[in-house]
Chains A and B, each alone.
Chain A
Amino acid sequence: MRKVIYSRPESLREVRTHYCAGCGHGIVHRLVAELIDELELREKTIAIAPVGCAVLAYNYWNFDTTEAAHGRPLAVATAIKRVQPDKFVFTYQGDGDLAAIGTNETIHAACRGENLTVVFVNNGVYGMTGGQMAPTTVLSQKTTTTALGRESKLHGHPLPLLEMLKVLEGVCYLERRALFSPQEIRKAKDALREAFKNQIEERGFSMVEILSPCPTYTKMTPIDNLKWIEKEIVKTYPLGRVK
């Protein structure tokens, strides 16, 4: 007898991807979609896509979605959840969105303890606008605006968002994971599951940061990009539960 062990989740549409080869966004989209199916949330989900490469996330997801101005998803999400507390509301944001232009919205939604889930995809650059430095870019990393590598004196230090949010009373759960191996991807999914469940159980604000490759702007092969995350990036952004 045949048994289906792997198939496209109902929450994921069958469309061609626009992401570059080796990009992490597609993997995270799928993890989110699998969890929404597994937790039977599809019919009560409202997702907020960011600007950035994931602005088209709604092309892939098969549930209600909207888009927010750059950095503002958590303000939008705050109101949706306050007005419709019975819905499952999550934001999907890049490091530029969450940790640069939207730092204010991020910190304050977390501080208020909004019962929301944030999927934070940290690829260390501004992908969509052409690979410029992000707040999360690590020291000595080359980007289109740090041609000789990020230098703390000139460009400031990398921003450890989870560690910053940790001190806030309103925050319930923070975890950092990565996508560099199937085992790690599974752990990322487990972390997302916990973050999703927290919202269902009304436990407050949860964020999962996922270290993700951007082969196009790290100018590495997809495999090298993953290895680099595993060897180097985790030194600045250690994996595991932060809160």
Chain B
Amino acid sequence: MASNRVLISGNEAFGEAAILSGCEFYAGYPITPQNELIQYMSRRMLEENRVFVQAESELASINMVFGASLSGVRSMTSSSSPGISLMQEGISYLAGCELPAVIINVMRGGPGLGNIAPSQADYFQSTRGGGHGDYRTPVLAPSSVAEIFKIIPRAFDIADRYRTPVIVLGDGMLGQMMEPVDKSLFDIEVKEYPKPWALRGCKGREPQLIKSLYLAPEALEELNLRLQGRYREIEREDVSFESSISLEDELVIVAYGSAARIAAGVIRKLKRENLDIGLFRPITLWPYPYKELGEISKKIKRFLVLEMSLPQMFEDVKLSLYSSNAEIDTLSRTGGVIPTEEEVIAKIKSILK
């Protein structure tokens, strides 16, 4: 019997989902733990008659994405933490030029060369801008291989809709693990966005210009205010999260990505001990579901922020709960250490004692 499921790694899923979402251009540079992604694209993009370039650096990759994007095609690059730092120049230029693009960060431990173990330490870099200037990037964080097939089409959609670079934040664990996924996830409907702003030669129209230089401060302020207006719209329209919370819950774990997978295991185990624990999982890290998390604190007063980085998302949880009298605790591991279910369980028990 032909199975309707395929076994695929997170890194390959990022690539395949991008192809299914109509990505016409990919440029990348090898860095562990995302190498399977560039390798996958090197083969599949050619099979699909699309453009693949192995760039000489992350600086070149992101600037190639810039060139492809201003040509009006869906374009993507991927890297891991140190490479993303190099891309920040280009991400800022993409934001300034109002160009859509998808950038995947399969995070590893830092700072510096760090290591190649899974980490979530680029949270601030991703959610606060990262490069220079007054800009934001939408950040989407899948927590399973199957979810990648939902997140990537959405990332391209947000990028085109708001003309902005979008960051998809994974980590080495998600990138490298293999999971069976249902082939029905491959049925991705691609929405086409007209791109009259794209540079395709001025035949039949006036010449066009794409730039981020505005020498007059008032003109640059105007661009920035226009961008901010769009960011407010993204905050209204595109917040997403998943929560499984009931009124009986003793505590709610707030976690995203791979950390949320660990949280789910913990919750299952504690259920057997008749302890009810809820899970709140932001899917968009920017815009953050401040309001939705705030609502929960009207009913539940204990929160544990679980992250694979020294408290970073914790600050967003504090912002969400600032007007409540909830207790917020954190369990943070760094350097690529993955928190074990046992240590999370011990932490929760110590909070509830």
**Which residues of chain A are near B97, meaning CB under 8 Å?**
66
Asked if B199 lies at the interface with its beta carbon under 8 angstroms from chain A, I say yes
| Residue in contact with A65 in the complex, picked from B27, B56, B200, B207, CB distance below 8 Å | B207
Interface centre among B51, B53, B70, B97 (most CB of A within 10 A): B70
A108 touching B56 in the complex, CB below 8 Å, given contacts A67-B210, A72-B90, A79-B75: yes
**Which residues of chain A are near B93, meaning CB under 8 Å?**
68-69
**Which residues of chain B are near A105, meaning CB under 8 Å?**
56, 59-60, 63
Q: Tell me whether A84 and B71 are in contact (CB under 8 A).
A: yes
Asked if A198 lies at the interface with its beta carbon under 8 angstroms from chain B, I say no
Q: Tell me whether A83 and B63 are in contact (CB under 8 A).
A: no
Asked if B68 lies at the interface with its beta carbon under 8 angstroms from chain A, I say yes
Asked if B123 lies at the interface with its beta carbon under 8 angstroms from chain A, I say no
Asked if A87 lies at the interface with its beta carbon under 8 angstroms from chain B, I say yes
Asked if B209 lies at the interface with its beta carbon under 8 angstroms from chain A, I say yes
The residue in chain B whose Cβ has the minimal distance to the Cβ of A80 is B67
- Stretch from A38-46, A117-125, A199-207 contacting the other chain: A38-46
**Which residues of chain B are near A61, meaning CB under 8 Å?**
207
Question: How many Å lie between the Cα of A44 and that of B200 in the bound state?
Answer: 7
A66 touching B210 in the complex, CB below 8 Å, given contacts A75-B67, A83-B68: yes
Residues of B117-143 whose CB lies within 8 A of A:
none
| B68: min CB distance to chain A, Å | 4
**Which residues of chain A are near B67, meaning CB under 8 Å?**
75-80, 83
**Which residues of chain B are near A62, meaning CB under 8 Å?**
202, 207
Asked if A82 lies at the interface with its beta carbon under 8 angstroms from chain B, I say yes
Asked if B31 lies at the interface with its beta carbon under 8 angstroms from chain A, I say no
Range, interface on chain B? 35 or more
Q: Tell me whether B68 and A69 are in contact (CB under 8 A).
A: no
Q: Tell me whether A55 and B213 are in contact (CB under 8 A).
A: yes
Asked if B224 lies at the interface with its beta carbon under 8 angstroms from chain A, I say no
Q: Tell me whether A72 and B63 are in contact (CB under 8 A).
A: yes
A104 touching B59 in the complex, CB below 8 Å, given contacts A58-B211, A82-B25: yes
Chain A residue total in the interface (Cβ 8 A): 32
| Residue in contact with A64 in the complex, picked from B56, B65, B200, CB distance below 8 Å | B200
Q: Tell me whether A78 and B70 are in contact (CB under 8 A).
A: no
**Which residues of chain A are near B25, meaning CB under 8 Å?**
79, 82-83
Q: Tell me whether A45 and B51 are in contact (CB under 8 A).
A: no
**Which residues of chain B are near A228, meaning CB under 8 Å?**
none
**Which residues of chain B are near A69, meaning CB under 8 Å?**
63, 89-90, 93
Q: Tell me whether A66 and B211 are in contact (CB under 8 A).
A: yes
**Which residues of chain B are near A67, meaning CB under 8 Å?**
210-213
| Residue in contact with B200 in the complex, picked from A75, A76, A79, A87, CB distance below 8 Å | A87
The residue in chain A whose Cβ has the minimal distance to the Cβ of B75 is A79
Asked if B340 lies at the interface with its beta carbon under 8 angstroms from chain A, I say no
**Which residues of chain A are near B61, meaning CB under 8 Å?**
75
| B64: min CB distance to chain A, Å | 4
Q: Tell me whether A64 and B199 are in contact (CB under 8 A).
A: yes
Asked if A63 lies at the interface with its beta carbon under 8 angstroms from chain B, I say yes
Q: Tell me whether A43 and B203 are in contact (CB under 8 A).
A: yes
Question: How many Å lie between the Cα of A79 and that of B62 in the bound state?
Answer: 10
**Which residues of chain B are near A80, meaning CB under 8 Å?**
67-68, 70-71, 199
Asked if B245 lies at the interface with its beta carbon under 8 angstroms from chain A, I say no
Taking A79-B51, A104-B60 as given, write out 19 further A-B residue pairs in contact, using a Cβ cutoff of 8 Å, ordered by the A residue number: A43-B202, A43-B203, A62-B207, A63-B207, A64-B200, A64-B202, A65-B208, A66-B199, A72-B66, A75-B55, A79-B65, A79-B67, A80-B199, A82-B51, A83-B24, A83-B68, A84-B71, A84-B200, A88-B201
A-B contact pairs, 11 of them (CB 8 A): A43-B202, A43-B204, A45-B202, A55-B213, A63-B202, A72-B90, A79-B68, A79-B71, A80-B70, A83-B68, A83-B73
